[in-house]
Chain A
């Protein structure tokens, strides 16, 4: 019989709709403004939480609930978003430095929904406020650092093999070694070829001097750069976690960029200092008085730039070998950092100090700084980054005995500096310097305003479409509108399931999808009307209308989907958000426009003898 669906199709649609409702539902529960407390080395228990709640109550801040969310973190929900900042400040004051207090938005999804894995859509930064950084990794510096490390290793290697060399020099992607004569060079060449395979070696003579030019292959340069970006990603993730921000986003973008989004953070300066800090430590021996100048470097002291010391070029270990670090005070009350080294670091340190008791060891504080300048070049504005590296000695002390993997360093200016250094050593150093290409702070008030306007325009736009369909297609308009409602539910459900982030362009995408979603039904209904005008019987007209419109709908939607997919794969940021919404919207609207509206028609009038269609 015409226009009847088998039972399983109705059931399928019903199940899809039910699942859609469940996963769309969490979005109806508003998120609570909250403050999150976490600690790395202090303790946090319910008694402390009670004390904090009391402090808040004394300040007149209304607390909705306060719960432990883990062994070392707690969540305090507030009634009012405007009290978030005062609440954070009050808690910050009540607790000491071992605790991190961050602003948060907490889901209030009921338990039975969360147990099904249903969570609300995340709101993008433009809707909820926060900090957005776009960082660029300095690829040239990454290569240079690798070459410096290689040069250091080669020097040690050659000394072990008793091969004499005059000096090492780094130039772009190449490393030049100078030797007094050809024999030394050839011996070095054989040695280096074994141990440093990623280099292409070339011999060169100038008068009596002999050179060995080592250049990196394209592939190894790419590997170094890839490694640098990946390593920086890990480090920045660690640091962001130390900041205690909820739901941070740290993502690679393109070959050399990293996006960091910190929702709820309003203090850009602090976030920027921690994320972008490039401080590191190096441990070096003081040079022997008779050491050749090519093997030494002179550095000023950090707290007294007039005073300098001459250190060996070779690094015993760097801060990368630190497995844990914490801030503390020595017996005189001066700040210090307690350091634990990892296994390799411990044995390297032990080796170096055991054989050099009585000599001095320096702790070198290294900071990569970048000055960003805008200059006019060929009539265009070009942003130039001028990197500079500051190295200064924070302590120089005589080695009394062999050091193991645990020791402390002093000579820091303030407890804050000690705390930040400890944090940086814990989270690891950046493999290459990074620049801030873009940074933006978005106030939450702007977010609230945006979301209100967005939602309001969605509602108005939606109502206009509903009214239009009712007026133009009467009874069939009702069916199209039901299909539209199902479409919106499914769209939100799929976006929530995929964990997509809702941004302002995303809302625009939803609105556009709503406008276009009726297209399928319009196509079908116009076809049905056409058939009716040709005096086709009602049931046949419906059947033919759905059948004939089908190819048009599929072709039109597939081409649009094609564009959306291309946009997604190539676009960034806002373009991507728009593409995601559009693609999902096209798929759900095809389902609801073809299947759901057909099912409703079949269910209501399918197979019944009809004289006239209300269309």
Chain B
């Protein structure tokens, strides 16, 4: 089987990672996330037209009826229209929108009118942020316990890397960030970690088996050994996610985008961030098997 020299190209990969991270942080700071109504608060009105309307007409009609700060977009099909309003909700807002748009005699059904309060946003945002921090801390402790603190540190950096890049891309392209995307990000954390641990597990195993002190060589072997597994698992998960992306409907559209990006980033980072960083942190044999070292040397004298 062909062996790829992953570690040899780690400098290029580091540059790619750093550039991506800087771009992501820049996008997050300069453009901000396009937070969905779950976070900002406001009113959503979903309408079903008998025949597909022109969105420009819809906008013009709403503006002429005194609505301000609204967004109009199609939702799935051309005749499903979503109107987002920044104004607060009242019972009639759905009917007002329908009445305004009915002026030209179009046949419109109100599918739903939904209000999300801004306060919910605040509380949820804090909770979600806290949730991520707690989740990451828990993971770091577990990895430090099962492996070693250098592994925990690198796993954590790789996690943050993946999350920041997915968030950054959402900011860069101004895709709407709502609660389902948040769930997606959480799943990315789980998935990226899964990948990283599999690679780490193999690295640990190889360090224990091998007599060599050339860490880059050991890492390369471990990554090559897990490569087909990594590709197979990422492949199957991506298959499912593409099914969700194309067939799952608009409500989980952004959810699948976040996971697809996250899995690509996670697979990349499990090799080039999580593993390659261990070299930067100067991982040594002694970090994993300090006690057994003497025994190994003792055995060597026997033959």
B-binding residues in A (CB < 8 A): 126, 134, 136, 254, 268-269, 272, 372-374, 381-383, 437-443, 445-446, 449-450, 453-454, 456-457, 460-462, 464-465, 468-469, 472, 504-505, 508-509, 511-512, 514-516, 518-519, 522-523, 526, 529-530, 533, 548, 551-552, 555-560, 562-564, 566-567, 570-575, 578-579, 582
- B88–A383 CB distance below 8 A: yes
- B88–A460 CB distance below 8 A: no
Contact of B237 (CB < 8 Å), options: A469, A472, A512: A512
Interface centre among A445, A468, A533, A562, by most chain B C-beta atoms within 10 angstroms, is: A562
- In the complex, what distance in Å separates the CA atom of A134 from the CA atom of B119? 11
Is B251 located at the chain interface by the 8 A CB criterion?
yes
- A515–B241 CB distance below 8 A: yes
- In the complex, what distance in Å separates the CA atom of A126 from the CA atom of B178? 15
- A383–B232 CB distance below 8 A: no
Residues of B within 8 A of A254 (CB): 123
- In the complex, what distance in Å separates the CA atom of A573 from the CA atom of B124? 10
Contact of A442 (CB < 8 Å), options: B88, B112, B115: B112
Residues of A within 8 A of B186 (CB): 563, 567, 571, 575, 578-579
Is B102 located at the chain interface by the 8 A CB criterion?
no
Q: How many residues of B contact A (CB 8 A)?
A: 73
- B118–A563 CB distance below 8 A: no
**Nearest CB in chain A to that of B251: its residue:** A504
- A446–B191 CB distance below 8 A: no
Residues of A within 8 A of B261 (CB): none
Contact of B198 (CB < 8 Å), options: A462, A511, A552: A552
Residues of A within 8 A of B182 (CB): 575
Residues of A within 8 A of B40 (CB): 381
Contact residues of A: prevailing secondary structure: helix
Known: A383-B119, A464-B240. A453 touches B194 (CB 8 A): no
- B239–A552 CB distance below 8 A: no
Contact of A453 (CB < 8 Å), options: B131, B235, B249: B249
- For this complex, 18 residue pairs linking A to B, each with C-beta atoms less than 8 Å apart, are A134-B117, A381-B86, A443-B112, A453-B249, A456-B247, A461-B239, A469-B236, A515-B236, A530-B225, A548-B205, A552-B198, A552-B202, A559-B143, A559-B194, A563-B186, A563-B190, A571-B186, A579-B186
Known: A461-B240, A555-B197. A516 touches B88 (CB 8 A): no
Residues of A within 8 A of B247 (CB): 453, 456-457, 460
- B229–A522 CB distance below 8 A: yes
- In the complex, what distance in Å separates the CA atom of A456 from the CA atom of B249? 10
For the complex formed, measure the closest distance between the CB of A270 and the CB atoms of chain B, giving whole angstroms: 11
- A516–B235 CB distance below 8 A: no
Is B33 located at the chain interface by the 8 A CB criterion?
no
Interface centre among B124, B183, B237, by most chain A C-beta atoms within 10 angstroms, is: B183
Q: Interface with A: B14-22, B53-61, B132-140, B287-295, which one?
A: B132-140
Is B74 located at the chain interface by the 8 A CB criterion?
no
Interface readout for B183-208 with A: 1 if CB under 8 Å, 0 if not? 10011011101110110011001000
